[in-house]
Amino acid sequence: MEALIFQLYGPLASWGAPAVGETRPSSDHPGRAALLGLLAAALGIRRDDGPGQQALASSVRFAVKQFSAGRLMRDYHTVQVPGRDKKARYFTRKDELAVPKDKLNTVLSSREYRQDGLWQVAVLLNEHSDWNLDELQTALKTPVFTPYLGRKACPLAAPLAPKKVQANGLREAFASAPPRICDQHGRWLHLPDSVDFYWEDHAGDIAVQDTRQPSDDVISRERWQFGSRQEHHARIREEG
């Protein structure tokens, strides 16, 4: 197995989950849609580039090693938006707020974030891929667009540090490229004894404990449509 391993760490992250009503929840780990978006940003593939987005989705699959899901934080939002007007077109947020004040409505929402979460991601290529791991590694080292942890308000607090590895399975691949994160005083962060693995397809050296059906498989970013997929999970205690 050949994989590209990189790390995700920041003060805040928000991994989109199915939203109903005013609540915008966050998953405890980055899903397929979030990781495709991050990789597309690094490669310079725009959100409205349908063929490019589809080519990337067909080329790669992911696995995640979760050291910490982070503490859950809920943020209460009030947002002003114009009322419905079929004749009006708003191209920017500035255009929306330029309408008369008496025509603005207040929308209430609640958004979830993860504080101080730490994850590693493995990128694996499908049989027919438009990119190789060297190209993806270069893109993550020098991204075209700024990567972030789910939302633009969630910047990275450490380099992605992509590293190409060869292993007999996902557990061995992750172990060969441990995360390197230190605090503001230069001390290495302590890693937990138990970690969670999430992966698509086959892991090689991890037994499946349960299988889930997250709705984060990108169908169309332009129409913001997502489908369900199969994701395996295992929680493992690691020595040392």
What percent of the chain shows pLDDT beyond 90?
Answer: 67
State residue 190's pLDDT score.
Answer: 75
Kindly report the CATH number that applies to the domain delimited by 2-71+117-237. Answer: 3.30.70.2660
Residue 96 DSSP class: H
Residue 39 has pLDDT above 90, yes or no: yes
Task: Please tell me the distance from the alpha carbon of residue 195 to that of residue 161, in angstroms, as a whole number.
Answer: 20
Per-residue burial over 212-235, b if 16 or more Cβ lie within 10 Å, else e, is eebebbbeebeeeebeebebbbbe
The alpha carbon of 45 is separated from its chain's Cα centroid by a whole number of angstroms, namely 16
State residue 163's pLDDT score.
Answer: 97
Mean pLDDT across 50-59: 93
Q: Where are the alpha helices (DSSP H) in the chain?
A: 32-43, 50-59, 93-97, 133-141, 170-175
State residue 217's pLDDT score.
Answer: 83
Mean pLDDT across 123-150: 96
Q: Nearest Cα to 60, choosing from 167, 173, 201?
A: 201
Tokens, residue 116: 């101080």
Q: Which helix (H) or strand (E) holds 201?
A: none
Q: For the segment 163-213, what is each residue's pLDDT rounded down to a tens digit?
A: 999 999 999 999 999 998 876 666 677 778 899 999 999 999 999 999 999
What percent of the chain shows pLDDT beyond 70?
Answer: 95
Q: For the segment 70-121, what is each residue's pLDDT rounded down to a tens digit?
A: 999 999 888 888 888 878 888 888 888 888 888 888 888 899 999 999 999 9
Could you give the C-alpha distances from 212 to 83, 120, 136, 172, 224, in angstroms and in order? 39, 19, 28, 23, 22
Residue 51 has pLDDT above 60, yes or no: yes
State residue 183's pLDDT score.
Answer: 67
Domain ranges of the chain: 2-71+117-237, 76-108
Residue 10 has pLDDT above 60, yes or no: yes
